[in-house]
Amino acid sequence: EVQLLESGGGSVQPGGSLRLSCAASGFTFSSYAMSWVRQAPGKGLEWVSGIHSSGDSKYYADSVKGRFTISRDNSKNTLYLQLNSLRAEDTAAYYCAKRLAAVGPNFDYWGQGTLVTVSS
Amino acid sequence: QSALTQPASVSGSPGQSITISCTGTSSDVGGYNHVSWYQQHPGKAPKLMIYDVTNRPSGVSNRFSGSWSGNTASLTISGLQAEDEADYYCSSYASSNTYVFGTGTKVTVL
């Protein structure tokens, strides 16, 4: 059974940092591209960042470019998202998601989400 | 990377069919056949219902179907059931391995 378990969320002041983790199991993690998607309270979904299966290629939404860094450790079956220079508008539930096919926003498995709250 | 445009709400009676539209530009929906649809129940993670415009993942009911014309993609739910009441989001490839989601549509079963 595929499982994605996020952790690392919490409350932080504007300008602060957090590191999110996503522990994967039930599939060959090193064979699949992964992404982070966030959802502000009561709002819609926003794609944040993606990473190739090997970790060599990384992609970001304009809203987080230069502040967030995605990475993965295939030996630990874990995906990460480093959040720096956090702003109030970054407050959201952050989901990690596994991609089904080679190209496209086809995320077939999602974690339960971890909540990040940015507030003074 | 502007959000794709969806109607805020769509409703229908049990057994009816409804269609949700997703309008983008030639830089996203209109430029690639990589549009997906997600269903999200309150407090739950999204569930992939359609990918690459028309494909259904294993286990998704064939009551859900997708189509695409120009800069607009559509999701049709046939034989509407109470369990279909949820929020629905489209998503499209938007070049350079980035993606964009739609604004979301709340489906109500009357």
Tokens in use for A33? 């591209």
Give the sheet arrangement for strand B64-69, strand by strand. Answer: B18-23, B72-77, B64-69
Mutate to test the interface with A, among B2, B97, B100 (most CBs of A within 10 A): B97
pLDDT at residue B92, rounded to an integer: 96
Mutate to test the interface with B, among A52, A70, A106 (most CBs of B within 10 A): A106
CB contact under 8 A, A44 and B32: no
| pLDDT average per 10 residues of sequence, chain B (110 residues) | 94 97 94 94 96 95 96 97 98 91 97
Provide the residue-wise pLDDT of chain A in tens; the chain has 120 residues.
Answer: 999 999 999 999 999 999 999 999 999 999 999 999 999 999 999 999 999 999 999 999 999 999 999 999 999 999 999 999 999 999 999 999 999 877 888 999 999 999 999 999
Digit-coded pLDDT (tens) for A70-105 = 999 999 999 999 999 999 999 999 999 999 877 888
Residue B56 — φ and ψ, nearest 5°?
-105, 130
Amino acid symbol at A94: Y
pLDDT, position A105:
84
Show residues of chain A in contact with B45, CB under 8 Å.
95, 110-113
Relative to beta strand B99-101, strand B86-93 is antiparallel
State the pLDDT at residue A103: 80
* Distance separating alpha carbons of residues B98 and B86, to the nearest angstrom: 26
Q: Does the beta carbon of B88 lie under 8 angstroms from any beta carbon of chain A?
A: no
Q: Are A49 and A30 in contact (CB under 8 A)?
A: no
Q: Number of CB pairs < 8 Å for A and B?
A: 79
Min Cα–Cα distance to chain B from A112, Å: 6
How far is the C-alpha of A102 from the C-alpha of A90, rounded, in Å?
28
Q: B66 — contact with chain A (CB < 8 Å)?
A: no
pLDDT of residue A60: 97
**Nearest-neighbour CA in chain B from A13: distance (Å):** 25
Q: Which two tokens stand for residue B87?
A: 């929020």
Chain B residue with CA closest to A61: the answer is B98
**B23 CB within 8 Å of a chain A CB:** no
